Amino acid sequence: MYRNLVTSLFEHERVRTTDAKAKGVRSLAEKMITLGKRGDLHARRRALRVIRRREVAAKVFDDLAERYRDRPGGYTRIVKLGMRSGDAASMSIIELVEAGTLTGHAPTAGKKVGAKVAAKTGAKAAKQAGAKATEKTAGKAAAKAEAETKKAAAKKAPKKKAAAKKAPKKKTAAKKDSETASKKKASAKKKASAKTKATAKKKAVRKKKTD
């Protein structure tokens, strides 16, 4: 694990890890830089026991050795970041001192991280803009749909009024039919009652004659 961290530190010149691991990597990294400043074959073999990649070891013996030629020690620094969410582990960044100032290497990992953050923020802004545009288009479509429904309702309203006007006429015709039917029933009842009365009179007259 420490070999991988030391290799990543020399490759990217900055590593984010826990505070305890950063302290363990610091001593190994400074030993590797002192071996690079020695520059002999034995020092290279000792460095390759720790550093996993040959190109990273070549960077230590060529670039970093020249960068820290006049520096007696203290090739790295540790910057504490705070507690990590989840397990509350103390996090820190270990980085090389004077990174990229003398050899003209690529920018440090901090600038890369800043570029990544800027790209992420740009992507978020683009997503928000797209969401706003879709909301605007959806609002316009909804407004158009409401306007069309209102127009259709306004067109249908006169027809409904005309139908409502015609409806009372139909109701009056039905009332008239019911009235005529009731009159017919009443007349039929009157006729039946008159017939029954007449037959009753006839029967009474017959009884008197027989008596």
**Can you read off the two tokens belonging to residue 34?**
């002192």
The per-residue pLDDT for 105 is 39
Which has more pLDDT, 41 or 165?
A: 41
Which has more pLDDT, 25 or 129?
A: 25
Average pLDDT value over all residues in the chain: 79
Q: Where are the beta strands (DSSP E) in 19-137?
A: 76-83, 90-96
Collapsing DSSP states into helix, strand and coil, what is residue 51?
coil
- Least confident interval from 90-94, 108-112, 138-142, 182-186: 108-112
Collapsing DSSP states into helix, strand and coil, what is residue 88?
coil
Instruction: Give the right CATH number for 2-105 from 3.40.190.10, 3.90.1030.10, 3.40.80.10, 3.90.180.10.
Output: 3.90.1030.10
Asked if 93 and 18 touch (Cβ cutoff 8 Å), the reply is: no
Domain residue extents for the chain: 2-105
| pLDDT reading at 55 higher than 60 | yes
Report how far residue 196's alpha carbon sits from residue 204's, in angstroms, rounded to the nearest whole number: 12
**Can you read off the two tokens belonging to residue 36?**
């690079």
Q: Is the pTM of this model over 0.75?
A: no
Average pLDDT over residues 96-113: 52
